[in-house]
Amino acid sequence: MAIASEYTGSSDRWGQLAKTLKKRAFRSPSDTLTSVFIFGLMLYMAWMLVDWALFSAVWRAEDVEHCAEAGGACWSVIAARHRLILFGLYPYDLHWRSTLACIAIVATVVLSCLPHFWSTSKLVTLWIVGFGTYVLLMDGSLLGQAQVTTDQWGGLALTLFMFSAVVLLGMPMGLLLALARRSRLPAVKGAASLLIDFIRSLPLLTTLFAAAVVIPLLLPDWLNGDKIWRVIVGFALFFACYQAEVFRGGFQAIPKGQFEAGRALGLTSFQILSRIVMPQVFRHALPSTINMVVVTFKETAIVIIIGFFDVLASANAAFGTVEWAPYYIEVYAFVGAIYWIFIFSLSQYGEYLKGRMSVAKR
C-alpha cells in the first residue's frame, strides 16, 4: 500500500495530503473548529502583515509626506537611508567596494555549505581567500585605491567583517584547545580545561568588555593594537571555547581502536590525527559547527554595546533624525529581515545535514 502510493501519480499525493489533514486537523467536530479558528486567525494576521508591508506601503523616498496618512509601512526611510544601514560611515562614492566585499563574505559562507568544499585544505583556502578579498576591498590601499581605515567601516559590512574574522580566527584556536584538552600531559590538559570552563561560564559581554577595557591595562602599549582587533580576538577566544567542546564531541565519536590501529601501523601521532582522526571529527562535528557559526553571527549584534557602529547601531542612526524618527519599526523590520533570512536558512541547512547524517549512520 505504502509502496504503491509512491509510484501512482500526483492525484494520489493529493489523497495522501487529504488523509493527513483528516487525521491531524479535521478528526472530530471540535478538532475542525480549532483548526478553522487557528488557520483563520493566522491567515488574517498574514493578510494584515502583507497589506502593511506591501499593498498599503509607501515605497519612494520622495513620498515621505504620504506616510502619515497611508495605513502601511513607510519604506521611504529604507529607500533614503539604506546605504547608512548597510555601510555605515564608509565614503559614499566608494560604496561599490563595500558592496563587493560583503558579497565576498556571503559567497564564502554559501560556498562552504557545498559538500564539494568539505575538506580541511579547501575550507581553509576558501575562508582565507574570502576574508582576504574583503579586507583588500574595504581597505583599498593595496589595490591602488584610496585607503579607508577600520574606524570608517560600519553597518552590515562591519558586522560581516567581525563575524568572518571571529570564525576564521576562532576555528583553529578551538581546534588547538580541543587537542590540548585531550592531551596526556596533566598541565596542558588542566590549563585548557580551566580556560574553556572559565570563558564558557561568563557572559559574552564580559569577555568582550574585558578585551576592550581591561587588556589595555595589562599589555604594554606596543602590543595593544586597535580596539576592534582586541575585541575580535576576545570574541574569537569565546567562540573557540565553545567550538572546542564541539570538536571534543567529534573526538568522542571516534572508536579508540582507530588510534591503536594507526599506532600499530607505525604512524606518528601527527599522521594519525591528520590522516585518520581529523577528517572524521570534522564530519561528525559539522552540524554542531554550523550551529555555532549561526549563533556567532547572531551574537555579533552585541558589539553595539562595546561601542562599534555595527548594523544595529547604524539602524538606530537611520531613524535618529527628526524626519525619520516615527519609522523605527520599518528600520528594525529591515535589519531583522536581513538577520532572519541569513540565520534561518543556515540553521535549516544545519538541521538538514543532521538528518542526512543520522540516515547515513544507520
Binding site for another protein (CB under 8 A): 21, 23-25, 31, 34-35, 37-39, 42, 184-188, 191, 201-206, 209-210, 213-214, 217-220, 298-302, 304-305, 312, 316, 328-329, 332, 335-336, 339-340, 343-344, 347
| Of residues 72 and 216, the one with the C-beta less far from another protein | 216
- Return the residue matching grid coordinates 581502536: 257
| Of residues 113 and 136, the one with the C-beta less far from another protein | 113
DSSP string for 246-298? HHHHHHHTS-HHHHHHHHHTT--HHHIIIIIIHHHHHHHHHHHHHHHHHHHHH
| Of residues 97 and 227, the one with the C-beta less far from another protein | 227
Work out how close the CB of 7 gets to another protein at its nearest, in angstroms, rounded to a whole number.
27
| Of residues 55 and 198, the one with the C-beta less far from another protein | 198
- Return the residue matching grid coordinates 539602524: 315
| Of residues 44 and 340, the one with the C-beta less far from another protein | 340
Work out how close the CB of 301 gets to another protein at its nearest, in angstroms, rounded to a whole number.
4
User: How many angstroms separate the most distant Cα atoms in the chain?
Assistant: 80
| Of residues 94 and 225, the one with the C-beta less far from another protein | 225
Work out how close the CB of 258 gets to another protein at its nearest, in angstroms, rounded to a whole number.
22
Tell me how far CA of residue 292 lies from CA of 28, 108, 136, 319, in angstroms.
43, 16, 27, 32
| Of residues 39 and 55, the one with the C-beta less far from another protein | 39
Which amino acid type is present at position 34? T
Q: Are 91 and 104 spatial neighbours (Cβ–Cβ below 8 Å)?
A: no
Work out how close the CB of 300 gets to another protein at its nearest, in angstroms, rounded to a whole number.
8
Work out how close the CB of 137 gets to another protein at its nearest, in angstroms, rounded to a whole number.
26
Q: Quick one: how many helices (H) and strands (E) in the chain? A: 18, 0
Q: Which of 62, 87, 97, 92 has the alpha carbon at shortest distance from 77?
A: 62
- Return the residue matching grid coordinates 547572531: 298
CA distance 265 to 341: 49
Work out how close the CB of 140 gets to another protein at its nearest, in angstroms, rounded to a whole number.
29
Work out how close the CB of 196 gets to another protein at its nearest, in angstroms, rounded to a whole number.
14
Q: What H or E segment, with its residue span, contains residue 209?
A: helix 204-209
